[in-house]
Structure 1
Amino acid sequence: MPRQTILGIESSANKVGVGIVTDDELIANTRATFHGAPGEGFRPTEVARHHQKILPELIEAALNQAGISESSDVTAIAYTRGPGMGAPLQAGAVAAQTLALSFGVPLVPVNHCVAHVEMGRSVTKSANPVVLYVSGGNTQILTYARNKYYILGETLDIAVGNCFDRLARVLKLPNEPSPGYSVEQEAKSGTKLFPLSYSVKGMDMSFSGILTQITAQGKKLMNGKDTRWSKADLCMSLQETVFAMLVETTERAISVANLNTVLIVGGVGCNKRLQEMMRIMCAERGAELGATDARYCIDNGAMVAHTAALMYQHGVHINPYSGADYTQRYRTDDVNVVWRNDVLT
């Protein structure tokens, strides 16, 4: 098979990225982030406008970084089909279709969650791990079997990253580089644990009650009505509680799946405290931990391009003239993982 070069566009949330990969190398990875003001979140329409404005610049920068000057050097264009926020997804899909039509190459629609998993597997060399996928919009525990990533456990309501984002908003923490990062840094100086509920239901978790408790206390602190717990205390308390839940359910998943490797992916996967707690659990069970840094665990175009390369090699692509559809709901276990043919024992 001739050498292939895939350009991938990620645009499912407030980060937009363009990555380019060949058969065996990442040759470009550009990214930009839409930030709201401290104390505010972001609206999908605002994010979409940001992506539409900056995507041409990111695409040009990625092509220059990769040393690509001719459209004939590109094999296919990939984009995030979902899940994510509708308007930002549409911005990426339109850009990808336009580029594919201009270059005269196929389109490869990619599942955002699976892209995180495949990028993590590639970077950490984790062949067949139990995957903890934690981000602003998703919290899932996954394992592979029979060409599917099956969900062993997941959040029953909101994602872990959403909890961090909402607490950061209440405490007026910086949104740059990310609310979760601000919570992580604040938590390092926390000393006093604020009591929170602990809601694990078998392999699943619930975070909405914890969020209600921690944000209510945060509002009391910011209004001066109850200052017994500082910002740092509240951030530390939220982290320790929800990470303990994640470690417990992941440990149970290792036992159920009879595997000895854990891979953490998604934006929250960058958190050093989560990695530390998971590493302790893995060491106690004789398991290995795979984790990445912000280059790959935070949403990026490289993960879309990398996953698309695997898909394209196995004939998964579409004609750009047929459109570039997108969907806000696209479950991880909806994807037929045709590129994996592991013999599992």
Structure 2
Amino acid sequence: MHKLISGIVGILLSATFASAQSFPDYDELYVNDFAFILSEEEEATIRNKLVELRKERDIEFTVVIIDSMFSYGHNGDIEPFATGLFNEWGVGDAGRNDGVIMLIAVNDRLMRIEVGSGYGTDKNIPMKNIIDTTITPQFKNGKYFVGISRGVDSVIRELTGVWPGEFDATSTERALNATKRTADRVGDWIYAIWTALAGGAYFLFRRWQRNRPRRCPNDRSKMERIQEDLDDDYLEAGQITEERVKSVDYDVWHCMRCDHRTIEGYKRWFSGYGACRSCGYKTLDSDTTILESATTTSTGLKRVDYACKHCHDSWSVKRVIPKQSSSSSSSGGSSFGGGSSSGGGASGSW
């Protein structure tokens, strides 16, 4: 009889929890920290990445942090709660079902990356790898922001093939960002040593490459480099101007036997000069004037004045300044796109 009563009580309690289960209402589309573990600055950092993702790829990705699922009447695995929350909010485009939720239950020490049904099962293993290798190791050390931020980066990279902030980046900018990510992972002091060694090695290589002996292409005899203060006699007027504005430095190598000369140019880093549309030399200077400042509701306008220091060609162009991003305007008063999930994604604990 006692066991029967206990069983009935258990069933009633389970039914009570099931009927009482609810989900939080979102305050915005990007970061909902109901556990208050992130600072405003940390929230803004994560939000900016998610705003950019939606702007560039039209993918809805939201981060949700709660104290415990028990607070919402759920006492069990995180998977059904995450799927229910996903479908309750309708994350993602209703036609593509490509939304993503990163759910962290702090006191339960559980998390899940839930993806829309449009991904099928293709993202289950990648999301599991991101959780196990990028996010939860940081959570174990109490570094919630670091884990979430890096996890968001990795998820965006998995979905789009591009890291946050690199949708319109040049190859040089992407290489620099990759170096910064390396710094985040190996530590600043190790990175400083690595950068110094790499920079020193590159400097020595460039110095060797520039100073190594040259052989004449005609008779293979050893060539001599003409002194810097005398090589202008062998340079074109545009090359002399490039040296004067310090955008390019030239070396002139001379063969004493056949009088052959080789001219080699070395571009200066961060010179600030571009290539002129008329003469082609790297002697083009520019100056920007803001005509109309951009706001969160309207674009702005700027004028860029170009002037070549060599051929003296000059022209101006007007360019639109994009609207300023605003977390309040981009998240407040909006709703998700009506997407759904069938339980795809991955979970983890720490």
TM-score scaled by length of structure 1: 0.24
In terms of fraction of residues, the more helix-rich structure is 1
Instruction: Name which one, 1 or 2, has greater alpha-carbon Rg.
Output: 2
TM-score scaled by length of structure 2: 0.24
